[in-house]
Chains A and B, each alone.
Chain A
Amino acid sequence: MREKLIFEHSVPGRSAAAQYPVESAMAPLPEALRRRTPPRLPEVSELQAVRHFTRLSQLNFSIDTHFYPLGSCTMKYNPRACNQYAMLPEFLGRHPLAPDATGQGILQCLYELQEMLKEVTGMQGVSLTPMAGAQGEFAGVAMIRAYHKARNDHARTEIIVPDAAHGTNPATATMCGCTVKEIPSLPNGDIDLDALRGVVGPGTAGIMLTNPSTLGVFERRIGEVAAIVHDAGGLLYYDGANLNAILGKVRPGDMDFDVIHMNLHKTFSTPHGGGGPGSGAVGVSERLLPFMPVPIVGREGDSFRWLDEHDLPQSIGRLSAFMGNTGVLLRAYIYMRMLGREGMQRVSEFATLNANYLMARLRDAGFELAYPDRRAGHEFIVTLRHEAREYGTNAMDFAKRLLDYGFHAPTTYFPLLVPECLLIEPTETESKQELDAFVEAMIAIREEAQTDPAKLKGAPHTLPVRRLDDVRAAKQLDLAWKPA
């Protein structure tokens, strides 16, 4: 099943004419500034375009069509109501620079979202503007730097990152002009506190931590970590990638974190959209309040307005031309209101129940767990090193064969510490029956690995394409269609 490129459907002279505005006079432009040849855009009818893109959509796996246990991505159900009510025409038609008086309804939603996120994280202030987790991280580290600079403590430019961290953590530190100090994890998944004590000092700007970590386990000695870093004069950054695991159970603010980013597209169920938009709202402790990125919604009596650089002169500044991913924020707001106070806790309880259940079943079926003695958070790691050694079938082969069984693959080869690993995150919105079916598929695939490993090596067999040649893709770059 292959769908032609839209350009291959194109026929000169054809058009979706209902979309054209009324004919207007040719614009009076100086000759030197004019375009001479038209851009190569397709010429298709409206039906052809609709059919083409509908067919393309059908080539995708998605949450709406498949179990999608992609570790560290929190692929939970995205309620349709969140989309419908965020796309009311009044919200969609409003220009971001229209006077605040014409946007009191939307500003109230955003203000209340800020307040709810403060409550659920235990932080003292929230800025909604970062447009993805990585930009939230950027805002967080930039605030840490601004804090030290404001105290004339210019030597603090080192960011400590555990070796299990997401790649965005060290990349963010670099973008903020910091250097990275990596510290190892212990065999049980906890941070090596001695190593931490060894690296902190007068150059320490802060530490970036995920808790539960990317190893899927809760850092039990978080209190000691916080004390070591704070005593050395550094600040603590909480990477909220795994907030789904502790929502309503523990608050980063109560763990003594100074700054946190939240992936609203994970924990608060806004859509992942085939790779965005995300939203990386940041929360801060008292001492970082003056440095938050702008704009922020402020309240005066019953009215709401944007606060900008005039209100927060020490702000790290503006991270987007307007107001971040506003429509994503509305979806998160609607989701949080539908869950309510009692629903927040249920998220982490059932996400953790599902993860621990799936982990127990896979263990009982003979799969090796990376951290068998630990309780799983909302995700856990299976290592397929035995299967790789005995049958010659690696984690990627299992991942690709799972696609044939109708399951999106878990995250593979991350975290980097565990060989041949699958990072599995079922989320709270999957049923026991779905999890059971996944276990059955894993068992069946292992049997195939024993009897017919080529079946895994050649997988997938039932999808629109078979395994793709990534090496060729990178060597013989073909990044744009050109007419033959």
Chain B
Amino acid sequence: MPFIPHTDDDIRDMLAAIGAGGMDALFDEIPAELRSRPLVGIPTAASEMQIGRLMAERAARDGRQLNFIGAGAYDHHVPAAVWAIVTRGEFYSAYTPYQAEASQGTLQLLYEYQSMMTSLTGMEASNASLYDGATALAEACLMAVRANRRSKSARILLPVASNPRYRETVQAVAGNQSLAFELLPYDASGGQTRVASLEKYRGQDITALVIQQPNFFGTLEDVDALTDRAHEAGMLVIAVVNPVSLALLKPPGEWGARGVDIVCGEGQPLGVPLASGGPYFGFMTTRMEHVRQMPGRIVGRTVDLDGKPGFTLTLQAREQHIRRSKATSNICTNQGLLVTAATIYMSLLGPRGLVQVASACMERSAQLVDALTRVKGVRLAFDRPRFHEALLLLDRPVRGVLEALAARGIVGGCDVSEDYPSLGNGLLVCATETRTAEDVEAYARALADIMNSAAAA
């Protein structure tokens, strides 16, 4: 029997010890009329060899494309050591470290992770992860409502230039708790959120402003001015950032005169593969004054009975298993294994390695924009400082072009024309350090071919 160790003798002895006549007697409290029929809709068992073959065939069918999409998930090199360690059974098959003394490995690692993330973002406290970047933003908005005690409105300002999928998720997750989200426009020529648009809210009660840096178009926002204006108006500021970009970009803790209040984002760029969408992890950091409003697990360093240092889950009075309906969130299980990957990744890259990755991304992305905008019918939407992503505008619908590229093994970018109809045929492209000059050249050649042929027009 797969994964079940019992011999016939074991079964007989165990039933005798229970005093049960047979396996069926173990279910005698379940009313007979509720008992299931055989599960004919489920295939019969496959051996490890058979399922291995099936999965290999399915994977081969999907093949391997040359990828130029970012849009919230980024194709970075993951050092071999990362997943070799992550998949060690001691990390892979452990659970939430409720028994601290038997979980010091996971707990110390989480403490090291919290230390790295607070420094990377310029904040004072980090939780041990949330589900993903989008839900981290939703939780940050809910946290801001708790933390901004002077505000009663639960109104949150979200830039149109922030990730549309994040905005949808925030609405789905936080919308049931009477939060109201209002959209801030971007400058049509530069692709940046308009600082002046905050003027409209002068004198009103707004709980928080969200700033995504770099924004969804890859463009860098004027984060200092946005932060200061929001703070002057009594709002809290929530930063949504790409952790790799923070090797080069000013950390949110230093934005404006006072720095932001809550930082969150998608942790996937730190050692987690694209993997068709997950599992990734969301990160969140904040100032000490707001730490009790932060959702999710938090690890603290303390001492044991002998005075030796050790690590334990702390501030649990915020959480659902203690506070129940009054908890900061219903979150329980988070994304521990992915945080393990990120911590090993950041340790291997170190401060200089992360700078090199971020610089290589910017250089490669600039080359990509340069090569693609030389193709007839392709132009750059916003010519402002960027990180590693850019919005291109095509002279024809994006979808057909992407399909033609996919047929050549190139995943050419993210079609944003539905999310931003006023921009026209928007194509968001990204290149990271994993794309070579040859890859960029191959994309540009294929795109030129397609744009020049009538078929795709």
Contacts and interface: CB of A to CB of B under 8 A. Distances in A.
B72 A322 contact: yes
Given A41-B119, A275-B106, A134 B330 contact: yes
Contact of A133 (B20, B324, B332): B332
B332 A15 contact: no
Contacts of A323: 276-278
Contact of B276 (A2, A22, A106, A349): A106
B350 A89 contact: no
What is the interface residue range for chain A against chain B?
A: 35 or more
A24 interface: yes
Given A56-B108, A90-B63, A321-B169, A98 B411 contact: yes
Interface core residue of B35, B115, B125 (most chain A CB under 10 Å): B115
Contact of A220 (B5, B31, B51): B31
Interface stretch (A25-33, A191-199, A381-389, A443-451): A25-33
Contact of A350 (B4, B172, B280): B4
Contact of B18 (A30, A105, A356): A356
Contacts of B172: 142, 293, 316-319
Interface string A307-338: 00100000011111111111110000010111
A483 to B, nearest CB: 10
Given A132-B333, A171-B330, A85 B55 contact: yes
A81 B51 contact: yes
Interface in A445-484: 458, 460, 463-470, 472-474, 476-482
A22 to B, nearest CB: 7
Given A19-B79, A21-B357, A466 B30 contact: no
Interface in B339-395: 340, 343-344, 346-360, 362-364, 385
Contact of A375 (B28, B275, B337, B364): B28
A409 B99 contact: yes
A344 B278 contact: no
Interface residues of B, number: 202
Nearest to A474: B314
Contacts of B406: 98-99, 101-102
Interface in B23-73: 23, 26-31, 34-36, 38-48, 51-52, 54-65, 67, 69, 71-73
B223 interface: yes
Interface in B69-117: 69, 71-73, 75, 77, 79, 81, 83-85, 87-106, 108-109, 111-112, 114-116
Contacts of A16: 79, 348-350, 353
B176 A176 contact: yes
Contacts of A217: 29
Contact of B17 (A70, A361, A474): A361
Contacts of B266: 321
Given A171-B330, A324-B278, A470-B314, A103 B62 contact: yes
Given A81-B48, A96-B277, A321 B94 contact: no
Contacts of A476: 302
B41 to A, nearest CB: 3
Contact of B131 (A36, A132, A338): A132
Contact of A172 (B28, B90, B330): B330
B358 to A, nearest CB: 7
Interface string A27-51: 1111011111011111110100110
Contacts of B402: 99
B224 A32 contact: yes
Interface stretch (A227-235, A250-258, A281-289): A250-258
A156 interface: no
A148 interface: no
B62 A63 contact: no
Interface in A377-424: 399-400, 403, 408-409, 411, 414
B124 interface: yes
Contacts of B310: 464-465, 468
10 contacts: A21-B357, A27-B359, A35-B248, A220-B30, A222-B34, A277-B333, A322-B72, A337-B54, A375-B28, A431-B10
Given A38-B355, A43-B352, A119-B42, 12 more contacts: A24-B356, A32-B250, A43-B350, A56-B106, A59-B104, A59-B108, A61-B99, A105-B61, A175-B329, A220-B29, A271-B337, A317-B169
